[in-house]
């Protein structure tokens, strides 16, 4: 007879596996219901497609991913780890698709293993991933905070402002003294050596500004994607809503933890934000297109890097 505790933990693990698919299914039902309930509006909506905005959006997305790789490279260089530019490109782009596994376990494990093969201790790689994700999250909170005053009346505004409060908490958590103690406690529990390197707080603030720029770049890419299927005036309030709203939706999806890459949760929040300025047909089109857009660009980035280094290796072996 198995101990009750083990049975309970097994049930909990199975329940967590079901939560993600259920949430995705609920979002799909929500989108279908929105289409059905407003079918007359969908039928009468003046659909248009602007290929130039779509092309610009994809171009900005490629720049965004290059910028995000640059952020991780800056963190690793701050640690003094000996990765060349080509090695860091190969590692970062080869592992970004691991984020589609709940909890991003595959991304973390893949990056740790690939860095270990180049002589970098696992503790340094883990620390760089923590810094990277913390900076992405905190910068998203900063961008949301800056954009909320431009949003129209939004019934979930208090929740957006509540998330904003997490920004100073996050900054405090990655202060060198706090971060070192927390990291060493976790490393000790997993029988790993203590952390030897941390970033100075000045360096953290400089990287935070860098990642804020990344969110602005991604938000502009999303604004162009929206403009490819819906009318966008590109006024300051509308652009602020699209940039900050996308960051807000990403935050909620990231913090949900139960779905791969925030799948479903992010789309539901994004639909709520877009409904402030767009009609239902355009909201549904943009929400569905945005997930496809992000996934295809990530696949293209990873595939291009893999093909390049595979080709380079083949040339060397001749």
Buried b (16+ CB within 10 A) or exposed e, 71-84: bbbbbbebbebebe
Is it the case that residue 254 has pLDDT exceeding 70?
yes
Q: Could you count the other beta carbons within 10 Å of the beta carbon of residue 237?
A: 14
What per-residue confidence (pLDDT) applies to 34? Answer: 47
pTM score: 0.78
* pLDDT tens-digit readout, 25-84: 544 454 455 445 444 444 555 657 788 999 999 999 999 999 999 999 999 888 877 788
Averaged pLDDT for residues 250-273 = 73
Judge contact between 162 and 168, C-beta under 8 A.
no
Q: What are phi and psi of 83, to 5 degrees?
A: -95, 130
- Strands in 205-265 per DSSP E: none
CA pair distance 150, 247, nearest whole angstrom: 14
What per-residue confidence (pLDDT) applies to 258? Answer: 54
What per-residue confidence (pLDDT) applies to 55? Answer: 93
SS3 state of residue 279 = coil
* pLDDT tens-digit readout, 159-191: 667 767 777 887 888 888 888 788 777 767 666
Is it the case that residue 244 has pLDDT exceeding 70?
yes
Tokens of 12: 């909990």
* pLDDT tens-digit readout, 73-117: 999 888 877 788 888 888 898 888 776 665 557 788 888 888 888
CA pair distance 125, 113, nearest whole angstrom: 9
- Give every CB contact of residue 114 below 8 A, 6+ residues apart in sequence: 90, 91, 94, 95
Distance of CA 42 to the CA centre of its chain: 31
H helix intervals, 257-279: 265-274
- Give every CB contact of residue 132 below 8 A, 6+ residues apart in sequence: 71, 72, 75
What per-residue confidence (pLDDT) applies to 19? Answer: 42
Is it the case that residue 315 has pLDDT exceeding 60?
no
Judge contact between 121 and 193, C-beta under 8 A.
yes
Nearest partner of 166 among 139, 192, 188, judged by Cα: 139
What per-residue confidence (pLDDT) applies to 154? Answer: 63
CA pair distance 140, 158, nearest whole angstrom: 16
Averaged pLDDT for residues 153-161 = 67
Nearest partner of 270 among 139, 144, 114, 116, judged by Cα: 144
* pLDDT tens-digit readout, 266-304: 888 888 888 888 887 788 888 878 878 888 888 888 788
pLDDT band at 192 (very low <50, low <70, confident <90, very high): low
What per-residue confidence (pLDDT) applies to 275? Answer: 84
Q: How many CA atoms lie within 13 A of 273 on its CB side?
A: 31
- Give every CB contact of residue 91 below 8 A, 6+ residues apart in sequence: 83, 111, 114, 115
What per-residue confidence (pLDDT) applies to 227? Answer: 92
């Amino acid at each position: 007879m198995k101990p009750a505790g083990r049975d309970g933990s097994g049930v909990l693990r199975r329940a967590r596996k079901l939560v993600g698919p259920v949430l995705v299914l609920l979002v799909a039902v929500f989108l279908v219901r929105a289409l059905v309930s407003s079918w007359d509006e969908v039928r009468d909506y003046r659909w248009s497609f602007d290929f130039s905005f779509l092309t610009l959006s994809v171009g900005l997305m490629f720049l965004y991913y290059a910028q995000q790789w640059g952020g991780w490279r800056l963190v690793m260089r701050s640690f003094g780890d000996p990765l060349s530019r080509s090695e860091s490109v190969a590692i970062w782009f080869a592992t970004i698709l691991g984020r589609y596994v709940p909890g991003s376990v595959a991304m973390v494990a893949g990056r740790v293993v690939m860095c270990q093969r180049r002589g970098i201790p696992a503790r340094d790689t883990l620390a760089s991933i923590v810094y990277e994700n913390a900076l992405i999250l905190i910068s998203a909170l900063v961008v949301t905070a800056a954009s909320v005053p431009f949003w129209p009346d939004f019934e979930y505004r208090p929740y957006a402002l509540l998330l904003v409060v997490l920004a100073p908490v996050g900054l405090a958590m990655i202060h060198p003294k706090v971060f070192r103690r927390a990291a060493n406690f976790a490393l000790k529990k997993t029988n790993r050596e203590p952390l030897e390197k941390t970033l100075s707080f000045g360096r953290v603030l400089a990287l935070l500004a860098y990642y804020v720029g990344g969110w602005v770049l991604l938000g502009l890419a999303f604004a162009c994607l929206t403009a490819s299927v819906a009318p966008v005036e590109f006024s300051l309030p509308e652009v602020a809503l699209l940039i900050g709203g996308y960051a807000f939706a990403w935050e909620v999806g990231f913090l949900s933890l139960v779905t791969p890459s925030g799948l479903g949760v992010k789309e539901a929040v994004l639909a709520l934000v877009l409904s402030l300025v767009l009609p239902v047909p355009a909201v549904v089109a943009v929400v569905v297109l945005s997930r496809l857009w992000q996934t295809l660009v990530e696949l293209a980035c990873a595939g291009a890097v893999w093909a390049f280094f595979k080709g380079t290796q083949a040339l060397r072996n001749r």
